[in-house]
Chain A
Amino acid sequence: MLLVTACALIHLRDLVALVMLAGIFSLVAAGLFIVMDAADVAFTEAAVGAGVSTLLMLKALTLTGAKQASAVSRPYQALFTIVLLGGLLIYGTHDLAPYGSPDGPSQQHVAPHYLENSIKETGVPNVVTAILATYRGFDTLGELFVIFTAGLGVMALLDGSGKRLGRTQALMSEHVVLRVVAKMLLPLILIYAFYVQFHGEYGPGGGFQAGVIFAAGLILYVILFGPGAGRKVLSDKTTRTLAAIGVLLFSGVGLVSMFSGAPFLDYSVLAEDAVTGQLAGILLVELGVGITVAAVVFRIFLEFDDREPLQKEGEP
């Protein structure tokens, strides 16, 4: 199924269909992750890949046009490189342990330690959240910096080029049914985002998914009621500040640990009891992640929305 979608993706020239197929690819991959019992990963893949990513790419297509330009030259060197590297990769996979075998190297060193000791050391039932936020917290800080840099990049690149529309009216203001249903659903969507954020320690969830869901709710509001109304909720200055505050929160927790004598991002010293310290640290860093992701995704949509679209609305 994934293979068929990927092959179709290569052959299409219509970019809107391509974006939809990419969303379907993400959704099928999320289903595959569920079959493999990886609920957190499936949740993130569905929310980001099949949700917000499709939305942002479609918004970008309104700015660039929806047909892919045909290739002018035959890329034989690239084909040769890809075949060579792909062949090497496939040859390398012969060395891996069989799928699901309990004595493969990935199940040997740290994985049993995490699975056995994470609830004793961190007090958090969801092992994935514990690994993301504590055991591998430095990597998560790096991911957060990547998202923050993406937001900065969009803000910097789109600020100078072209004319800002400064539009406040909504694109879809005549969709009465959609407005009514959205007004009913928006509080629920935002509450669900908070639920996913703070319940991420007990079930699937966490900062990334919550941030994406929160931003999706806000983007729905902007689509239906206009960027003016959206900017009244969170102005440009506020989103810029919030994106920075999330990263500051995460790094700040690490710095506080450092000033208390422990290594960077060791949460045990944040409270008298090590487990309480870990709980507090995990809560704070996930909050930081959620804040930055929501602010960056919302701001990227608003920036795309502010540009001159390639074809005017209402024309076929």
Chain B
Amino acid sequence: MIETIATLLASVLLVLGSLLCLIGAVGFFRFPDFYTRVHASSVTDTLGAGMILVALMLLSDSTIGTFKLVLILLFLLITGPTAVHALVKSAVTMGVLPGIETEEIVVRSDGNSSSKPS
């Protein structure tokens, strides 16, 4: 009984995880600009891979296998967003401009702020 629930839940998570990765890929192609593309692919890929790993944990036979999968999930959750952060920060340093309209807000020392489109 509990195995059927686990298998069912695992199948749902596997399908959802793969769908999320696919959505991320679609978003990567459809978004207009570097930053939005990176945002689409990174968020969906991390969550999609996480879901697939949780599904594998539910399907796993041995405790040691489950433990290794937990470690892999932790590693993915730590390194995935960090790598994307490093990528985007390098892009900002190199001067890649956002493709959509942005506004530059300057806060002066007397508390007033002014904004101009950049």
Contacts and interface: CB of A to CB of B under 8 A. Distances in A.
Interface of A: 172, 174-175, 177-178, 181, 184-185, 314-316
B85 A177 contact: yes
* Binding site secondary structure of chain B: helix
A-B pairs, 7 with minimum CB distance: A181-B82, A316-B95, A178-B86, A316-B94, A177-B85, A175-B86, A175-B89
Contact of B78 (A172, A174, A184): A184
A181 B95 contact: no
A172 B87 CA distance: 11
Interface in B87-105: 89-90, 93-96
Contacts of A315: 94
A177 B89 CA distance: 10
B95 A178 contact: no
A178 B82 contact: yes
Nearest to A176: B89
Contacts of B89: 175, 177
A175 B90 CA distance: 9
10 contacts: A172-B90, A175-B89, A177-B89, A178-B82, A178-B86, A184-B78, A185-B75, A185-B79, A315-B94, A316-B95
Contact of A178 (B75, B85, B93, B96): B85
A231 to B, nearest CB: 23
Nearest to B83: A178
B77 to A, nearest CB: 11
A11 B79 CA distance: 32
B17 to A, nearest CB: 16
Given A178-B85, A185-B79, A316-B95, 8 more contacts: A174-B93, A175-B86, A175-B89, A177-B89, A181-B79, A181-B82, A184-B78, A316-B94
Contacts of A175: 86, 89
Contacts of A184: 78
Max count, chain B CB within 10 A of own CB: residue among A174, A184, A316: A316
Contacts of A177: 82, 85-86, 89
A181 B78 contact: yes
A314 B93 contact: yes
Nearest to B96: A316
A65 to B, nearest CB: 16
A172 B79 CA distance: 17
A170 to B, nearest CB: 13
A181 B82 CA distance: 7
Nearest to B95: A316
Nearest to A181: B82
Nearest to A188: B75
Contacts of A174: 93
B96 to A, nearest CB: 8
A315 B78 CA distance: 30
B78 A185 contact: yes
Interface string B13-24: 000000000000
Interface string B24-43: 00000000000000000000
B87 to A, nearest CB: 10
A177 B96 CA distance: 20
- Could you say which of B85, B86, B90, B94 has the most chain A C-beta atoms within 10 Å of its C-beta? B86
Interface in B50-101: 75, 78-79, 82, 85-86, 89-90, 93-96
Contacts of A314: 93-94
B33 to A, nearest CB: 16
Contacts of A181: 78-79, 82
A244 to B, nearest CB: 34
A304 B85 CA distance: 25
B109 to A, nearest CB: 25
A174 B86 CA distance: 10
A75 B75 CA distance: 48
Nearest to A177: B85
Contacts of B78: 181, 184-185
Nearest to B93: A314
B44 to A, nearest CB: 18
